[in-house]
């Protein structure tokens, strides 16, 4: 379905590792809606990923960039503007990684070097992107920046480990930078807090499968899929949401407002 919601818009989409990635679905839908964009990922991830396939299908160029490197991000914004022929109208930040989660370290006994990496990759990268873009004046008036988050930023989900702290910082950066960029150029900065989703990052969390079922049973609409998250991102990039900024928007089938569901309670019936 195409309504040309993004016709004439230029974007940067991070984080499409494989066809399960939320960013992959966003790229497919942005292409359907008439946008042109560049794709980017960490150089190491691009060797493992299937990005070339996505680039061909969406007629996009791929620019490797480690999102923790200001130098790489500067090149990303510079090259993207050259390739796309003007300032950038939308950016998807779809980046998350915790070495502590990968190494299965418990939250109460974290490796602090890893912790800093988790925060740098998953949260400070948003600040770096916005700061680089602002210094270069790379975003157009009213551009839209969306970063993906998770409800562990507000409530405790023990298995989410140090990613919970990284997401809390990510959401705070969206609010803080959103103020400054809104004042300067009417740029919108929001986070979308997505349901558990079966992706490489999602499946890397300990106990993910069980929790996926729990969240599904708790959500009146069920878990939101990667595809429906992509639909929401498209609306946020479009001109239909010009006055939405500095928000954390739940895209979770109603999970965040549900205290108990009959399906979840029934599991305790004797």
Ligand X SMILES: NC(=O)c1ccc[n+]([C@@H]2O[C@H](COP(=O)([O-])OP(=O)(O)OC[C@H]3O[C@@H](n4cnc5c(N)ncnc54)[C@H](O)[C@@H]3O)[C@@H](O)[C@H]2O)c1
User: Of the listed pieces 16-24, 82-90, 102-110, 154-162, which binds ligand X according to CB under 6 A?
Assistant: 16-24
Using CA atoms of 97, 102, 108, 109 in order, give the dihedral in degrees to the nearest 10: -110
Q: What is the spatial distance between Cα 255 and Cα 261, in angstroms, rounded to a whole number?
A: 10
Say how many Å lie between the first and final Cα of the chain, rounded: 47
Helices assigned H by DSSP within 51-152 = 51-58, 70-84, 99-102, 112-119, 125-136
Determine which residue in the list 5, 67, 123, 143 makes contact with ligand X, applying CB under 6 A.
Answer: 67
Minimum Å distance from CB 127 to ligand X? 14
CA angle 197, 198, 199 (to 5 degrees): 100
Site string for ligand X, 201-240 (x = CB under 6 A): xx--------------------------------------
Minimum CB distance to ligand X smaller for 20 or for 243: 20
CA 171 to chain centre: 11
User: Of the listed pieces 2-10, 55-63, 194-202, 257-265, which binds ligand X according to CB under 6 A?
Assistant: 194-202
Site string for ligand X, 29-58 (x = CB under 6 A): ------------xx--x-------------
51 backbone φψ class: left, alpha, beta (φ>0; ψ -120 to 50): alpha
Q: Which residues contact 225 (CB under 8 A, 6 or more apart)?
A: 195, 197
Determine which residue in the list 15, 143, 165, 219 makes contact with ligand X, applying CB under 6 A.
Answer: 15
Q: At what angle do helices 226-237 and 22-32 cross, to 10 degrees?
A: 50
Q: Which residues contact 2 (CB under 8 A, 6 or more apart)?
A: 32, 33, 34
User: Of the listed pieces 31-39, 63-71, 241-249, 259-267, which binds ligand X according to CB under 6 A?
Assistant: 63-71
Residues in 126-145 at the binding interface with ligand X, rule: CB under 6 A:
none
Minimum Å distance from CB 123 to ligand X? 9
User: Of the listed pieces 88-96, 107-115, 182-190, 253-261, which binds ligand X according to CB under 6 A?
Assistant: 88-96
Residues in 91-120 at the binding interface with ligand X, rule: CB under 6 A:
94-97
Binding positions for ligand X, rule: CB under 6 A: 14-15, 17, 21-23, 41-42, 45, 66-68, 94-97, 121, 148-150, 194, 196-197, 199-202
């Amino acid at each position: 379905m195409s309504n040309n919601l993004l016709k004439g818009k230029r974007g940067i989409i991070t984080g499409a590792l494989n066809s399960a990635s939320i960013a992959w679905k966003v790229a497919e839908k942005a292409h359907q809606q008439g946008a042109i964009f560049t794709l980017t990922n960490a150089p190491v991830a691009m060797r493992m990923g299937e990005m070339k396939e996505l680039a061909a299908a969406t007629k996009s160029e791929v620019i490797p960039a480690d999102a923790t490197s200001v130098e790489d991000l500067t090149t990303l914004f510079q090259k993207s503007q050259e390739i796309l022929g003007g300032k950038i109208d939308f950016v998807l930040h779809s980046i998350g990684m915790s070495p502590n989660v990968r190494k299965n370290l418990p939250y109460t006994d974290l490796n602090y070097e890893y912790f800093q990496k988790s925060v740098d990759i998953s949260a400070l990268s948003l600040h770096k992107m916005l700061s680089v873009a602002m210094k270069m004046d790379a975003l157009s008036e009213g551009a839209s920046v969306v970063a993906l988050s998770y409800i562990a930023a507000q409530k405790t989900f023990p298995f989410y480990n140090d990613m919970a702290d990284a997401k809390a910082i990510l959401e705070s950066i969206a609010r803080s930078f959103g103020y400054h960029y809104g004042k300067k150029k009417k740029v919108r900065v929001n986070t979308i807090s997505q349901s558990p989703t079966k992706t490489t990052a999602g499946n890397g969390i300990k106990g993910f499968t069980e929790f996926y079922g729990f969240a599904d049973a708790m959500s009146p609409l069920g878990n939101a899929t990667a595809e429906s998250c992509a639909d929401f991102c498209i609306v946020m990039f479009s001109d239909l949401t010009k006055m939405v900024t500095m928000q954390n928007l739940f895209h979770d089938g109603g999970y965040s407002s549900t205290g108990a569901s009959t399906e979840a309670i029934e599991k305790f019936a004797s």
